[in-house]
Amino acid sequence: MLHRWILSIFAILLSIILTACNTNNTQQPQAQSTQNIATSNTSSQELPKVSAKRVVTLSSLTTDIISQLDQTKLVGISGSTLFKNDPRFHDIPRVSEGQSPPNLEKILALKPDLVIGAEGFSNQPIQQIQQLGISTLLTQVNRWKSLEDVTKELAQLIDVNPQSLLERYQSFLPEEPRTNTSTLVLVSSQPILAPNKNSWAGDLLEKFQVKNLAAELQGQSPISGYVTLSAEKVLEANPEVIILITPPQGGSETAILESFKKEGFWQKLRATQNNRIYVFDYYGLINPGSIDAIKKTCEQLKQNLLS
C-alpha cells in the first residue's frame, strides 16, 4: 500500500513539492526537476503591474500564505484535506478536489486577476489560463529560503507587507539548536526511501542541526531529493533516531510501525533498541502543505530531537 503511494501519489504530489523540495506547494514531484533550489517562477507576460485583488490558488501552501497575508483577496482555492474544517475557507469556492485537475470554467467564473499554481503540478492548467489572458504564477518550495522568497513575492503581488508572517516563520525554528543526533527519515518500507539534503525535509532537518545520515547520499530513486536505501545501508548507518512518515491519504501510526517491524534489520538498530522511533505527518515534513503543518512539524522536531 505504501509502495503504491510512493509510486503514484508520491510521484505526483512530490513531483510538485519535491521538485521544489529537491532541487519539488506542496505539493511535490515534477518528479525529475533538475533545479537545485526551488523558487517561484512566473511567465514573462503575466505578473500584474498593480495589486491583484481577486486571487485563485491551486495549492494548499499558497492558499494558506495568501489567506495569512490578506484573506479578502482569495476568491477561489483548490480543495485540500488540510483545510477541511478550517472556518477561513468554508465560504470560498473550490475549483478542484483531491487529485482532479482544476475546473477552468469555475476559475473563469470567479474573474480572477491572478491564478497561482505549483510548479510540476499545475503547469498545464496554468498554461491554459495564461492563454486566456489571466495573470499567473508558478511556485516551488523545497527549502526554507524558498518559503520566505515565495511569501515575499506573493505579498508584493497583492500589495501587503509580509514582515509579520516572515517573523512567524522564524518563531518556528529553535533559537539555538543543540543537536547533532544521527537521524534517518524513512518515508516508506518497500522500497526504503529517505530524503537527502535536496528536499524540503532535508533542508528542515539542517535548520535544526539534525545529522541527516542520508543528506549526502545520491541514488536512482524516481523521486528527486530522495534516495533508495537497502537494509544493509540502514544497518550500516545505525541511526540514533528514526522518523517514520504517515502517508498523505492517512494511516495509523501502528500500521506504519508494523510495516517496518517486519524488516529483519529493525530490531538491530540503536533507535529501535532505545525507543527513539517517531512518527511524523507527511504534511509539514515531506510536503510543506500549510503554515500550520510546518509549525506542528517544527514543534515535534523540538520536542523529539532537542529536548
- Cβ 302 vs Cβ 207: under 8 Å: no
Q: What is the pLDDT of residues 122-168, one digit of tens each?
A: 899 999 999 998 999 999 999 999 999 999 999 999 999 999 999 99
Q: Which fold has domain 182-306?
A: Rossmann fold (3.40.50)
Q: What number of other Cβ atoms are within 10 A of residue 152's Cβ?
A: 15
Q: Would the pLDDT of 12 be above 50?
A: no
**Ordered strands of the 188-189 beta sheet:** 188-189, 192-195, 226-229
At position 280, the amino acid (one-letter code) is F
pLDDT, residue 49, reads 54
Give the C-alpha separation, 69 to 86, whole Å: 16
Name the residue ranges covered by the structural domains of the chain.
182-306
Helices within the chain (DSSP H only): 2-7, 9-22, 60-70, 104-109, 123-131, 144-157, 163-172, 200-207, 231-237, 253-261, 270-273, 282-285, 291-301
Q: What percent of the chain has pLDDT over 90?
A: 64
Determine the pLDDT at residue 19.
Answer: 34
Residue in 82, 74, 69 with CA at minimum distance from that of residue 150 = 69
Q: What is the pLDDT of residues 233-287, one digit of tens each?
A: 999 999 999 999 998 877 778 888 888 988 889 999 999 999 999 999 999 999 9
Q: What is the mean pLDDT of the chain?
A: 83
| pTM (two decimals) | 0.83
Residue 23 clears pLDDT 50, i.e. is over it = no
Work out the number of other CB atoms within 10 angstroms of the CB of residue 167. Answer: 9
8 Å CB contact between 195 and 212: yes
Q: Can you tell me the distance from the alpha carbon of 50 to that of 30, in angstroms, rounded to the nearest whole number? A: 31
CA distances from 88 to 82, 83, 94, 124, 304 (A): 12, 8, 13, 28, 31
HEC-encoded secondary structure of 269-297:
CHHHHCCCEEEEEHHHHCECCCHHHHHHH
Cell reading at 115:
491564478
